[in-house]
Chains A and B, each alone.
Chain A
Amino acid sequence: MSQGVEVVGLYVRDQDEALTFYVEKLGFRVHTDVRNGDYRWLTVQHPDQPSFQLGLFMPGPPVHDAATAQTLREVVAKGAMPPLVLVVDDCRAAYDRMRGLGVEFTQEPVDRYGTVDAGFRDPSGNGWKMIEARR
């Protein structure tokens, strides 16, 4: 595939904290981590999805003025950013593993007509749905 979506970014409150969460708790890998002064371009990748990167970005200069950055931090912390969906082979097993690692779940696994889903948040407040698809 040579065309398509390559990076989608999230706003996080702390890039080190987000990196630890997505790598150590969710099993993602670092794809790019480069700095230019205070700016840090940080993306991670699901090990099964090499064509897609999830960006973990901080609101702030030079992209945002102080008031805009504060607004973005508030919106993220309120859980008001768009929903994210992670597809897994076994929702209950993933739930047990991640919960053991201290992931903050907002919903235990629930069966819905052949699919199983659970909900969790990253440390910043971004909300994920974790779905085991019908086979």
Chain B
Amino acid sequence: MRSQDPDLLRRLLRAKDRIDAASHEDWPVPRLARVSGVSEAHFARSFKQAFGVPPHRYLLTRRIERATALLRDTDLSITEIAFHTGWESLGTFGRTFRDITGESPGANRARARATAHELGRVPACVLSAAHRPDLTIAVSEKRRRLAGDINGSEQKEVL
């Protein structure tokens, strides 16, 4: 792996931190690039090299992680959770959730609640990181693989 300038990495980390702090907000590349003080042209590539996933996909994993926690820990409806975590439609939320975790939000909630957790002693931030979905491939690619390549997906992930 080619090395990256630590000062650049520190500024990219600032953009990642901002996504973490407010994953329900929109994070288009120009906004993230501004946080990092990097040109838009370089931001996405540098971010992916630094953190292993493109910024848009990182944002999706954070939203799904938050949604999973809200499903487990609150009585909010699935619709409320979708809007709390930054989706503009329930349909997109449900589909993305299924694509990433392999189950529907409702099924995930039922399973999480049936499993007793002894996690009270782990700091919440560490816990949420440990539960972060490991989205190593694009959501569109994951959909395509699940579909057995029969109907090559038309959808392209932004970034």
Contacts and interface: CB of A to CB of B under 8 A. Distances in A.
Interface of A: 13, 70-71, 73-74, 76-79, 83, 85, 104, 106-108, 112, 117, 119, 121, 124-125, 129, 131
Contact of B4 (A74, A108, A117): A74
B7 interface: yes
Interface string B89-103: 000000000000000
Interface in B1-58: 3-4, 6-7, 9-10, 12-14, 16-17, 20-21, 50-51
19 contacts: A13-B6, A70-B3, A71-B3, A73-B6, A74-B9, A76-B6, A77-B6, A77-B9, A77-B10, A78-B12, A79-B16, A79-B17, A83-B123, A107-B125, A112-B124, A117-B124, A119-B125, A121-B17, A129-B125
Contact of B126 (A78, A83, A121): A83
A83 B126 CA distance: 8
Interface of B: 3-4, 6-7, 9-10, 12-14, 16-17, 20-21, 50-51, 123-126
Contacts of A71: 3
A74 B6 contact: yes
Contact of A129 (B7, B12, B16, B123): B123
Given A74-B4, A83-B125, 5 more contacts: A77-B9, A78-B51, A79-B13, A106-B20, A117-B124
Contacts of B21: 106-108
Contacts of B4: 74
Contacts of B6: 13, 70, 73-74, 76-77
Nearest to B17: A106
Contact of A117 (B9, B16, B123): B123
A124 B10 contact: yes
Nearest to B10: A77
B9 A78 contact: yes
A40 B123 CA distance: 33
Contacts of A119: 125
Nearest to B16: A79
B125 A77 contact: no
B50 A78 contact: yes
A112 B121 CA distance: 12
